Structure 1
Amino acid sequence: MENVTGGSPLPVCNDSELMLALGSGNGTEPRCAPPADYYFFRDLYVVLPVIYSVICAVGLTGNTAVIYVILKAPKMKTVTNMFILNLAIADDLFTLVLPISIAEHLLRYWPFGEVLCKIILSVDHYNIFSSIYFLTVMSVDRYLVVLATVRSKRMPYRTYRAAKTASLCVWLLVVVIVAPFTVFAGVFVSPDRAARKSCVLSFPSPEGSWFKASRIYTLVLGFAIPVSTICILYTAMLYRLRNMRLNSNAKALDKAKKKVTLMVFVVLAVCLFCWTPFHLSTIVALTTDLSNTPLLIGISYFIASLSYANSCLNPFLYAFLDHSFRKAFRKMLECRPA
């Protein structure tokens, strides 16, 4: 690329100069020529914070409303809603720290220190594991309800208190699973002239093997095991319902139980839709050696945004699929005279 004045060609920007060009936008005379994909990264630099900000605003508002409704409305204190409450807390926790990730993206470096780096990366991984594990517990609960209905039995052990205990166990399990990521999270200082700080997972040598092990760890514990469990439960549930209609004189599930089961199934389907590409990308990363082209980087950011979007979709699903939620939301939004 030649200078606009017709002089000698400008040297191509190195990484640090490119980051400064992306972050400044002050109209100063360029000292180097950007690479061919510079404008792609410039657009990405602007678009991603907008997408993340929308996810943050919608997710924080929706999940906070869900938490408020379940805690304030006496009729909302059910076993299923206890799991939904914890799911909303997990999503709210992630959206609360998302602005820090936006700030890091805009600044192009990490200015917040070691402790906050560990917290942010830990919460990011809580988001990966907590949603799918709470949905697994909800699927187990739905299976037990269907099983008890088919057998015309009561479930005295299925109480709100038992749901609290199960939720606490899920949180403890997620904390244990995420603990290795908390240990390895830290601030990395680049060795170039810019000495740019980044909040990353800093693995010991050999880093490549540790990185692959961490991806396999996340894939197995955050996707393969819980999703397999959920698929087995729903297959068994559908099989029992089919046999009940064909071979039994037992009554069908009542309307309310059907609606709750449908809601859990839809929330699960949306979760899998948002998170499956993320875990499939892990398989691709482990089995292939792809170069970082602009197209690949754009796809990876789209996949990350899709997984983040799951944190703001659930409140809309509750509002559309659960009449009691809609009723409680309306009461919450009513303007009552003093």
Structure 2
Amino acid sequence: MENVSIPGFAPPVCNDSVDFYSLTSVNGTHPNCIPPSGFYFYTDLYIILPVIYSVICAVGLTGNTAVIYVILKAPRMKTVTNMFILNLAIADDLFTLVLPINIAEHLLQYWPFGEVLCKVILSIDHYNIFSSIYFLTVMSIDRYLVVLATVSSKRMPYRTYRAAKIISLCVWILVILIVSPYTVFAGVYERPNDGRKSCVLSFPSPEGSWITTSRIYTLILGFAIPVSTICILYTMMLYKLRNMRLNSNAKALDKAKKKVTIMVFIVLAVCLFCWTPFHLSTIVALTTDLRNTPFLIGISYFITSLSYANSCLNPFLYAFLDDSFRKAFKKMSECRPA
């Protein structure tokens, strides 16, 4: 059986040949190549990684919880766009909640938490890949429809807060279905030579074909399709706005709609900046056979940390770009007399 572990931990250093994808992907690494503890101390990664992930966890949990609280409590924040932002924050919060368990496994260098929690943690790790980009895809579709309706001077009676709730639920169901194969293959693997346990994806024979399939599966469903959809939507959106400026003196979007569109675009750009290296590593793994070097290992950890960091950046983007969010948060954080 081929066994693949949690992302960002224990890169294979037991031989000269290394699978670059396994260093950076949520599908992790081969437990037969779990490095000795001296490797961590030699590279200082044993200490540095828990610190980085702890910062991501603390900042992400605080920021996304604040976003959830403001949107749920402030009446004026209950908009269609904010419903999608709420679900994006929930997905990020869910991921940051399990980071301490990943950190514990890294420090202990084995998995002590059992089979059920292993499946839960690996599933949530994979939710993090798909949920962010799918909610951003939905937000991009929503922005395109808003721009299209504004340019055509049409109303959108179907664009309601209730409809946004239903769409968000459908996105969650879709992501659960996409991630379900990884949940099935997740389990605790015990190495025969020393009994060390790892939380891994255990693929049946032929292992190589299963691993290649899982890479292509993640690349297509988690990156190629949603990003292509987003790029097409924004290209069409810019084309329509350009024609609107050429053919009419009217503004294509009013001030409020323009700000929301810009905010969604920037959140999307940051997401792609954080996740594109992760998915490019999949392409590298499918097309090359890299040798294991300290430099490559350093790159793998950087890519993993960058993808994790996306879960704590969005709240700051909302605070800087969304006046209504900033005002609602300030109002709700003010001390009120009893």
Contact 1:56–1:98 under 8 Å retained in 2: yes
Provide the C-alpha distance between the structure 2 equivalents of 1:182 and 1:110, rounded to a whole number of angstroms: 17
How well do the aligned residues superpose, as a CA RMSD in angstroms? 1.8
Structure-2 change in CA distance of 1:38 and 1:308 (3 Å): closer
Mean Cα displacement is larger for which, 322-331 or 117-126?
322-331
The yes-or-no answer on 1:131 pairing with 2:122 is: no
Aligned pairs (5 A) from 1:2-151: 19=36, 22=37, 39-41=41-43, 43-151=44-152
Contact 2:80–2:161 under 8 Å retained in 1: yes
The CA deviation string for residues 20-50 of structure 1, in whole angstroms up to 9 with x for no partner, is xx3xxxxxxxxxxx6xx66543x01110000
Aligned pairs (5 A) from 1:1-338: 19=36, 22=37, 39-41=41-43, 43-192=44-193, 194-338=194-338
The AA in structure 2 aligned to 1:134 is F
The alpha carbon displacement at 1:16 in A equals 10
Provide the C-alpha distance between the structure 2 equivalents of 1:127 and 1:155, rounded to a whole number of angstroms: 31
Number of aligned residues: 309
The alpha carbon displacement at 1:86 in A equals 0.2
The alpha carbon displacement at 1:328 in A equals 1.2
Provide the C-alpha distance between the structure 1 equivalents of 2:293 and 2:178, rounded to a whole number of angstroms: 33
The alpha carbon displacement at 1:174 in A equals 0.2
Identity %: 85
The AA in structure 1 aligned to 2:264 is V
The CA deviation string for residues 300-321 of structure 1, in whole angstroms up to 9 with x for no partner, is 1110000000000000000000
The CA deviation string for residues 116-152 of structure 1, in whole angstroms up to 9 with x for no partner, is 0000000000000000000000000000000000000
Provide the C-alpha distance between the structure 1 equivalents of 2:167 and 2:249, rounded to a whole number of angstroms: 34
Contact 2:147–2:252 under 8 Å retained in 1: no
Provide the C-alpha distance between the structure 2 equivalents of 1:157 and 1:65, rounded to a whole number of angstroms: 29
Question: What secondary structure sits across from 2:291 in the alignment?
Answer: coil
Structure-2 change in CA distance of 1:154 and 1:38 (3 Å): closer
Structure-2 change in CA distance of 1:16 and 1:237 (3 Å): closer
The AA in structure 1 aligned to 2:286 is L
Provide the C-alpha distance between the structure 1 equivalents of 2:130 and 2:252, rounded to a whole number of angstroms: 34
The alpha carbon displacement at 1:286 in A equals 1.1
Structure-2 change in CA distance of 1:67 and 1:165 (3 Å): same
Contact 1:40–1:294 under 8 Å retained in 2: no
The AA in structure 2 aligned to 1:120 is I
The alpha carbon displacement at 1:210 in A equals 0.6
The CA deviation string for residues 151-198 of structure 1, in whole angstroms up to 9 with x for no partner, is 000000000000001000100000000000000001111122x21111
Contact 1:129–1:174 under 8 Å retained in 2: yes
Question: What secondary structure sits across from 2:199 in the alignment?
Answer: strand
Contact 1:134–1:170 under 8 Å retained in 2: yes
Q: Comparing both chains, which one has the higher relative contact order based on Cα–Cα distances under 8 Å and sequence gaps of 6 or more?
A: 2
The alpha carbon displacement at 1:262 in A equals 0.2
Structure-2 change in CA distance of 1:18 and 1:78 (3 Å): closer
- Determine the structure 2 residue equivalent to 1:25: none
Provide the C-alpha distance between the structure 2 equivalents of 1:222 and 1:124, rounded to a whole number of angstroms: 13
Provide the C-alpha distance between the structure 2 equivalents of 1:196 and 1:130, rounded to a whole number of angstroms: 32
Provide the C-alpha distance between the structure 2 equivalents of 1:114 and 1:201, rounded to a whole number of angstroms: 12
Question: What secondary structure sits across from 1:202 in the alignment?
Answer: strand
The alpha carbon displacement at 1:249 in A equals 4.6
Contact 1:109–1:197 under 8 Å retained in 2: yes
- Determine the structure 1 residue equivalent to 2:20: none
Gaps of 5+ in 2: 1-13, 16-31
The AA in structure 1 aligned to 2:89 is A
Mean Cα displacement is larger for which, 258-267 or 295-304?
295-304
Provide the C-alpha distance between the structure 2 equivalents of 1:54 and 1:38, rounded to a whole number of angstroms: 19
Provide the C-alpha distance between the structure 2 equivalents of 1:272 and 1:69, rounded to a whole number of angstroms: 26
The AA in structure 1 aligned to 2:114 is G
Structure-2 change in CA distance of 1:130 and 1:302 (3 Å): same
The alpha carbon displacement at 1:332 in A equals 2.4
The alpha carbon displacement at 1:212 in A equals 1.1
The CA deviation string for residues 260-309 of structure 1, in whole angstroms up to 9 with x for no partner, is 00000000000000000000001111111112222111111110000000
The alpha carbon displacement at 1:248 in A equals 3.0
Contact 1:152–1:250 under 8 Å retained in 2: no
- Determine the structure 1 residue equivalent to 2:11: none
Provide the TM-score with structure 1 as the length reference.
0.88
